[in-house]
Amino acid sequence: MRGRTSNGGRRAADTAPLELGPLNELVGFHVHLVDVRLYQIFYERLAGRALTPGVFSTLLAIRENPGVRHGALADALMIQRPNMTTLINRLQRDGYVSRRPSADDKRWVVLFLTSKGERAVAQTLAAMAANDRAITSELSSAERRTLLALLRKLAQGLRAPLMVKKGRGRRPATLA
Amino acid sequence: MRGRTSNGGRRAADTAPLELGPLNELVGFHVHLVDVRLYQIFYERLAGRALTPGVFSTLLAIRENPGVRHGALADALMIQRPNMTTLINRLQRDGYVSRRPSADDKRWVVLFLTSKGERAVAQTLAAMAANDRAITSELSSAERRTLLALLRKLAQGLRAPLMVKKGRGRRPATLA
DNA sequence: TATTGTTATACTCTATAACTATA
DNA sequence: TATAGTTATAGAGTATAACAATA
């Protein structure tokens, strides 16, 4: 991160951490803090690499699911379909991905990695995994596993339209 | 979220979840999935409210730290200072926040809530807390507390420039 | 009539460099 | 010479509506 001061952007007057009050109890607040910081770290440390986190995730998901449909991929990665189209356009232009209409249903577009795409994923995988270990290096192995499990469970629960338990059955949550 | 299909955007062909392979082991990947989905949910459910998550967090942090300096606030919320300036400009224009130069150091700008700002935070707090409960409703109370604690620890560890333990002392992590 | 993927577009959030005023 | 905040600007990521092709 260019433009930072020599002590990493922390200034003397910052030593006393801010009181966050009720923000401390919000999962969403901390998820956002971490997500923003992880992107900063990625660009501080892995800048210059061809594969950004979004591109890498997309390529890896195609590798794990050859012939995956466009829309299914978008849903799995929580990317809107129009934005997935833009991303795949670029990846196809750059030779990482091939797309073709499905024989089963001509509306479908199915996706595959090219050999260049396979190579790029294989080359980047170790660096991505190492970076993920580095960013969680303040956690113990057990803590990291627990965090991962809880995030997976949370993400899974968030895929469906948001509901909350109340009385019998399930209905949309109210807020206030 | 407008534009979604009647069954919430899930299509019949999506029933088999995608294989994510090594992505399943990446904390950063899941943090990003959750963060994106939380923003979608916020805009599905709390659209029309004046206070977005970022605005709410900023106002609440000022409320908890009257007279906080501009830069300290930006650091705590992991917002770049130029972007904090833009945000505070808008909040001041709309009457939520007052800013004035500090007597201690005339370079500093210190921030306070107006009575309108205090009112807005108080009115929104319950809805924000309820929403945060709703989005974590698939987790048990114990799981939610654990997740929160681990996210706080992770966020705290990410504040400093990224280092990893290796041999004696600490040095910047290498990746590959 | 509904769904898939696309096109076009707008908006929000974040990043960077350069400037000022103060120290 | 360094720091705090600002201005200006660029870029990435995401959201929405409307469309053509197919079912």
Quick check: A59 and A119 in contact, CB under 8 A? no
Average pLDDT score over residue span A121-135: 94
Amino acid in the structure at residue A30: H
Strands A68-69 and A109-113: antiparallel
Closest-CA residue of A relative to B19 is A64
SS3 A159: helix
Q: For residues A65 and A150, give the distance between their C-alpha atoms in angstroms, rounded to a whole number.
A: 24
Sequence length of chain B is 176
Q: Is the pLDDT of residue A166 over 60?
A: no
pLDDT category of residue A46 using cuts at 50, 70 and 90:
confident
Quick check: B68 and B62 in contact, CB under 8 A? yes
What pLDDT was estimated at residue A48?
Answer: 67
Q: Is the pLDDT of residue A163 over 80?
A: no
Quick check: A161 and B8 in contact, CB under 8 A? yes
More confident residue, A125 or A9: A125
* Number of neighbouring beta carbons within 10 Å of residue B105: 10
User: Which residues in B81-96 are b (16+ Cβ under 10 Å) and which e?
Assistant: eeebeebbeebeeeeb
D15: residue with closest CA to C1' = A80
What pLDDT was estimated at residue A42?
Answer: 87
The nucleotide minimizing the C1' distance to residue A108's CA is C4
What pLDDT was estimated at residue A75?
Answer: 96
pLDDT one-digit tens code per residue, B43-99 = 877 766 668 999 999 999 999 999 999 999 999 999 999 999 999 999 999 999 999
Kindly determine whether the C-beta of residue B71 is less than 7 Å away from any atom of nucleic acid strand C. Answer: no
Q: Where are the alpha helices (DSSP H) in chain A?
A: 27-45, 53-64, 70-77, 81-93, 115-135, 141-159
pLDDT one-digit tens code per residue, A57-109 = 999 999 999 999 999 999 999 999 999 999 999 999 999 999 999 999 999 99
Q: Is the pLDDT of residue A175 over 60?
A: no
Q: For residues B172 and B151, give the distance between their C-alpha atoms in angstroms, rounded to a whole number.
A: 22
Task: Using the Cα atoms of residue B32, residue B33, residue B38 and residue B39 in order, give the sign of their dihedral.
Answer: positive
The alpha carbons of chain B give a radius of gyration, in whole angstroms, of 20
Report the side by side order of strands in the sheet with A109-113: A68-69, A109-113, A97-101
Q: Residue B17: which of A57, A159, A125 has the closest Cα? A: A159
Token duo for residue B50: 């004046």
Which residues on B lie below 8 Å from A51 (Cβ)?
none
Kindly determine whether the C-beta of residue B123 is less than 7 Å away from any atom of nucleic acid strand C. Answer: no
Cβ contact, residue pair B147, A19, below 8 Å = no
Q: Is the pLDDT of residue B142 over 60?
A: yes
Q: Residue A38: which of B60, B36, B22 has the closest Cα? A: B36
What pLDDT was estimated at residue A13?
Answer: 45
What pLDDT was estimated at residue A10?
Answer: 36
Q: What is the pTM of this model?
A: 0.86
Mean of the per-residue pLDDT values for chain A?
84
**8-state DSSP, B6:** T
Kindly determine whether the C-beta of residue B106 is less than 7 Å away from any atom of nucleic acid strand C. Answer: yes
Mean of the per-residue pLDDT values for chain B?
84
Quick check: A31 and B31 in contact, CB under 8 A? yes
Quick check: B57 and A29 in contact, CB under 8 A? yes
* Percentage of the residues of chain B whose pLDDT score is greater than 70: 80
Q: Helices B27-45 and A27-45 sit at what angle, rounded to 10 degrees?
A: 130
